[in-house]
Structure 1
Amino acid sequence: MHLTSPSSPRPQRVRLPRYAAIAGGAALLFGLLLTLVDHHWGPLARLDQGWTGGLHDVARGHAAWTASLLTMTALGGPTAMRILLALAAAWLWAIGARTLAGWTAAQAVVGWAAHRAAAALIARPRPSFADPVAHAAGPAFPSGHATASAITTAALVALVWPRAPRSGRIAACALAAGATVLIGFTRVALGVHWPSDILGGWFLAVAVLGSTTVVVELLRPGALSRDVRRVDWRTRPRVQSVLASTVPFPELPPPGKLHGEFEASDSDPR
């Protein structure tokens, strides 16, 4: 999911049906999965028990592996993910991209509220072992780690997308997907979640991202796109300054033209 591109200011409203469809589809899949979990559907229950039991046996027999899982799951916890979103929102607010800052902060708040509400629906018990390698409190479905990590990584990718080249976008998406999958895997491997809990967290995250974007755009049409261009405008001089310092003899425009460009930038209504 990306918001817009500063070089191609296509109206955000054009993408609203797409975002609404993504949010609705993810919510539908989440509801279906929740129903299967609540009714203890046999094939899903066997898959959950097989994966969780097998991975927990591996963790129980390898202390170093378990320690690495505990470290990764701590770094990717909901609190750490929300701190990342809060820092991004604070920076956006500081440079004047207020709607984009609100959108970023809303991902953390709405994601937390949606997870709490969903977890209370069926209060699914967590896996139980005689000799557990890790402990976690609260209902199992959906996974809070999976929900928070998917929301955070997707939101951060959406923020860097407009300024990144094609290679940067591919790298950002690969890094975000890898981190999200890895965090989800640690929860199952440590025996504190079922695989369907992780899948449910991912579905819920997509629903939150899509629905939040639609609501913000309906309340403030075009504001997200304008803020993306504002971020581009506010950060471009610094980026160009760094790039210019690496060139021995940069080719500068005539002083009068350069002065005129600065005046135009200062009067930019965006």
Structure 2
Amino acid sequence: MHLTTSSPTITPRDRHLLRHAALAVCCAGLFAVVAALVQTGWGLLAGFDHKLIDDLHRYATDHTVWTASVQMFSDIGGTITMRSVLGATALWLWLIGARTLAGWVAAQTLVGWGGQWVLKLSFGRSRPAFSDPVSHAGGPALPSGHAMASAITCAVLVGLLWPRARRAGRITACSIAGLTVLAIGSSRVFLGVHWPSDVLAGWLAAGIVLGAVTVIVELARPGALARDFRRVDWRTRPRVQRVLVSSGRPPRATDPATDPIGDPVADPATDPIADRPDGLLR
């Protein structure tokens, strides 16, 4: 007699939860390590922070035009700009009916803002000080608010584009987002208002927020995020078609049952995802 045992099936939703839980846990562990090294004044990290910030400050004072350009870029990519972008995105999602997705974006914004200040006030790290500073910033240093806000914003925007983007689009979106986050974080170090470890801590704190908020929303509303991603697709495809037609660029597909990129148009009344309990794409 042969006994067969059925192994538990890991659904796409389970994998989604595990990925984001792993992101939050790993970033939390690394953040704790960085914070502990900063608090204990570990020699190698402290030496790296001071040497890099001093070298960059000398370069910044000698190249005022470049420094002014970096300051402008840092101001444009500041926390107010990033949170305004997320706020506008959340409002748009709410208006088209993707309420859970709108709440997810809003939660990333609010938790990121609140978490940043909780961490800053908890550690109370002083910013770099110079006799001839090229820029000024207030409040504690760790973690960098610019680094944290830009990482959350870019990750959220890439996440919204990801389901409908093809391979080339995903690579382009990730590249632009990565370069933007790196440039904004580096600008704060170049301007002498943050230590390099502050920026690293900001990126890690962003990972904690992104992973934790996603897990909480998925547990509270199973499958709702995936359904809202499809709802965004249903609402935006007809508008894209109208824009293409009005601009004299007809869709490539001649069959009215297909969209401009040749895929079947999703119908909320008939889409198989509506019948799936987990609401996830397969």
Q: Does the alignment reach a TM-score above 0.5? A: yes
Question: 4+ residue stretches of structure 1 with deviation over 6 A?
Answer: none
CA offset digits 1:111-150 (Å, max 9, x no partner): 0111111111220000000100001000011100000000
Take 1:225 and 1:154, find their aligned partners in 2: how far apart are those partners?
A: 17
Secondary structure of the 2:82 match is helix
Aligned to 1:59: 60
**Structure 1 residue 246 and structure 2 residue 249: aligned?**
yes
CA distance change for structure 1 residues 250 and 228 in 2, over 3 Å: closer, same or farther?
Answer: closer
Letter of the 1:66 partner, please give it: T
Q: CA deviation at 1:268?
A: 5.3
Secondary structure of the 1:251 match is coil
CA distance change for structure 1 residues 96 and 49 in 2, over 3 Å: closer, same or farther?
Answer: same
Aligned to 2:114: 113
Letter of the 2:77 partner, please give it: G
Aligned to 2:25: 24
Secondary structure of the 1:50 match is helix
CA offset digits 1:135-183 (Å, max 9, x no partner): 1000011100000000000011001111211111111100000000000
Aligned to 1:4: none
Q: CA deviation at 1:239?
A: 2.3
Take 1:105 and 1:234, find their aligned partners in 2: how far apart are those partners?
A: 20
CA distance change for structure 1 residues 226 and 58 in 2, over 3 Å: closer, same or farther?
Answer: same
Letter of the 2:178 partner, please give it: A
Aligned to 1:199: 200
Take 2:93 and 2:39, find their aligned partners in 1: how far apart are those partners?
A: 41
Take 2:85 and 2:196, find their aligned partners in 1: how far apart are those partners?
A: 25
CA distance change for structure 1 residues 253 and 170 in 2, over 3 Å: closer, same or farther?
Answer: closer
**Structure 1 residue 74 and structure 2 residue 106: aligned?**
no
Q: CA deviation at 1:215?
A: 0.3
The structure carrying a bigger helix percent of its residues is 1
Secondary structure of the 2:51 match is helix
**Structure 1 residue 94 and structure 2 residue 92: aligned?**
no
Aligned to 1:171: 172
Letter of the 1:136 partner, please give it: A
Q: CA deviation at 1:185?
A: 0.7
CA RMSD in angstroms, aligned pairs only: 2.1
Aligned to 2:233: 232
- 2:147 touches 2:184 (CA, 8 Å); kept in 1? yes
Take 2:190 and 2:267, find their aligned partners in 1: how far apart are those partners?
A: 53
Q: CA deviation at 1:240?
A: 3.1
Q: CA deviation at 1:221?
A: 0.5
Q: How does 1:141-160 map to 2 (within 5 A)?
A: 141-160=142-161
Aligned to 2:183: 182
- 2:231 touches 2:268 (CA, 8 Å); kept in 1? no
Letter of the 2:150 partner, please give it: S
Aligned residue-pair number: 254
Take 1:16 and 1:266, find their aligned partners in 2: how far apart are those partners?
A: 25
Take 1:237 and 1:11, find their aligned partners in 2: how far apart are those partners?
A: 28
Take 1:77 and 1:210, find their aligned partners in 2: how far apart are those partners?
A: 22
CA offset digits 1:81-129 (Å, max 9, x no partner): 0000001001100100000000001111000111111111220000000
Gaps of 5+ in 1: 1-9, 255-260
Aligned to 1:210: 211
Aligned to 2:141: 140
Secondary structure of the 1:200 match is helix
- 1:11 touches 1:225 (CA, 8 Å); kept in 2? no
CA distance change for structure 1 residues 25 and 89 in 2, over 3 Å: closer, same or farther?
Answer: same
**Structure 1 residue 85 and structure 2 residue 91: aligned?**
no
Gaps of 5+ in 2: 1-10, 258-263, 275-282
TM-score of the superposed pair, with normalisation by structure 1: 0.89
CA distance change for structure 1 residues 266 and 218 in 2, over 3 Å: closer, same or farther?
Answer: closer
Take 1:250 and 1:169, find their aligned partners in 2: how far apart are those partners?
A: 23
Aligned to 1:124: 125
Q: CA deviation at 1:248?
A: 8.9
Take 2:143 and 2:253, find their aligned partners in 1: how far apart are those partners?
A: 55
- 1:13 touches 1:222 (CA, 8 Å); kept in 2? no
CA offset digits 1:239-261 (Å, max 9, x no partner): 2344455139973459xxxxxx9
Secondary structure of the 1:171 match is helix
- 2:24 touches 2:208 (CA, 8 Å); kept in 1? yes
